[in-house]
Amino acid sequence: MSVISSFNTVRRIVHGAGCIEKIGEEIRRCCGSRILVITDPGIKAAGVLDMLARVLEKTGVPASYFSDVEPDPKIEVVERSLEAARAFQPDIIIGLGGGSSLDIAKVTSVLLTNDGPIEKYFGMELVPNPGLPLILIPTTAGTGSEVTSICVLSDTRNHVKKGIVSEHMYARVVLLDPELTAGLPPRITAMTGMDALVHAMESFTGVRATPFTDCLNQEAIRLIASNLRIAFANGANLQARENMLYASCIAGMAFSNTQNGLVHALALAIGGKYHLPHGLLTAFICPWVMEFNMLATPGKFIAIARSFGERTDGLPVMEAARLSVKAVKSLLDDLSISYTLKSYDIHRESFPEIAKATLSAVRLISNNPRTVTEKDVVALLEANYE
């Protein structure tokens, strides 16, 4: 039975090596006359912010910089970015960085045109007014945040992560320049690339998948299967970097419309307590959940196995589907990412608490192809402990 659904995404993507040089044209298209750039200290230290600042200087448009976004940003960071914005009075926001910086750029843009407190916007589509025009420039190939309408923030008082989902947070323009990702170290390349793969797989196998998201996700999985090892082994390979940037963006376009699933629900639950990087969490949880979910939609898992080059012809259905897990485990081995829970110093006593938090992520669990209970989650954690 078909359900009534919709597909939304950003209206413009400019891409290709060196495309950051074109930002002046994009600012003019958005009628920008005062720019606030939002980024993080790592991007500043790596010299990537200087690259953007040089191009912005040539445009002659006044710009101010807020570079205090931290990884796993807390709600308090938004208060500081808003302060910086109110002091400078921009009419356009540029986000430069990984998912955290882009998320803070998105939420800052809408909180400048919607009265606080921020708490009233946590949830789905609760932001009434459009924000300032946004230009988003990713410097990692992972989160796909440049094309999603979600911002995830840490609530440190309650040790949980909370999301704002709003169509007003879609960027006006996205710039995909692989040269900005060339300096990423191999470990970050591996973790962020795996996060992109999990986005594509959770969106592809989830109950809210549509023909629009299926075609995007299959292409994203194919690109990651054939480029992540290369980008990890040789970060200077610009073609592999470009393909990974396309893959994470394409997967982001899809999952923004479906949401993710059990891998992300578990990653948020474990991450809320143990503070491991998001990409690492989704990477090591991925094969466990694939095994669990496979019964619900084996055909999708066979398609994933094929995207990884596995030969599935003539095999019984479940045997063919299981090749997808074999392929992902082999990728994780090559990227030196362990998928046993014990490797990450997570204690068995916290399993019930993790299970409870996992089930509370309704936005994610409701897209999972297989029904999940707290007992299932504890069993998954036990089965993959060592």
Q: Which chain residues interact with Fe ion by CB under 5 A?
A: 195
Assess contact for 150 and 169: CB atoms under 8 A.
yes
Least Å distance, CB 195 to Fe ion, is 4
Residue 260: Cβ within 10 Å count: 25
Q: Which is nearer to Fe ion, 42 or 142 (CB)?
A: 142
- Residue number with CB closer to Fe ion (77 or 200): 200
Of 218, 197, 186, 226, the residue nearest 285 (C-alpha): 197
Contact 204, 300 (CB under 8 A): yes
Q: How far is the CB of 318 from Fe ion (least distance, A)?
A: 27
Q: How far is the CB of 312 from Fe ion (least distance, A)?
A: 27
Least separation, in Å, of the C-beta of 273 and Fe ion?
17
Q: CB neighbours (10 Å) of residue 125?
A: 12
Phi/psi of residue 156, each to 5°?
-70, -25
Cβ closest to Fe ion, residue 66 vs residue 170? 170
Q: Minimum distance between the CB of residue 310 and Fe ion, rounded to whole angstroms?
A: 24
For Fe ion, the closer of residues 177 and 202 by Cβ is: 202
Residue number, 36 or 286, with CB nearest to Fe ion:
286
| Residue (114 or 367) nearer to Fe ion, CB | 367
E-strand ranges in 220-319 read none
Q: Residues 340, 42, 140, 49: what is their CA dihedral angle, to the nearest 10 degrees?
A: 180
Unique residue bearing structure tokens 């009419």: 91
User: Smallest distance from the beta carbon of 282 to Fe ion, in angstroms?
Assistant: 5
Closer to Fe ion by CB, 114 or 213: give it: 213
The token pair that represents 33 in the structure block:
């006359």
Q: How far is the CB of 32 from Fe ion (least distance, A)?
A: 30
Local structure of 251: helix, strand or coil = helix
Angle value at C-alpha 115, between 110 and 119, nearest 5 degrees: 85
Nearer to Fe ion, 32 or 252 (CB): 252
Bridge partners of 174, per DSSP, are 13, 136
β-pairing, 160-165 with 35-38?
Answer: unpaired
Look-up: residue for tokens 């980024």?
39
Kindly state the smallest distance separating residue 145's Cβ from Fe ion, in Å: 9
* Helix, strand, or coil (residue 277): coil
The residue with its CB nearest to Fe ion is: 195
CA distance 10 to 345: 40
Please state, in angstroms and rounded to a whole number, the distance separating the CA atoms of residues 267 and 288. Answer: 12
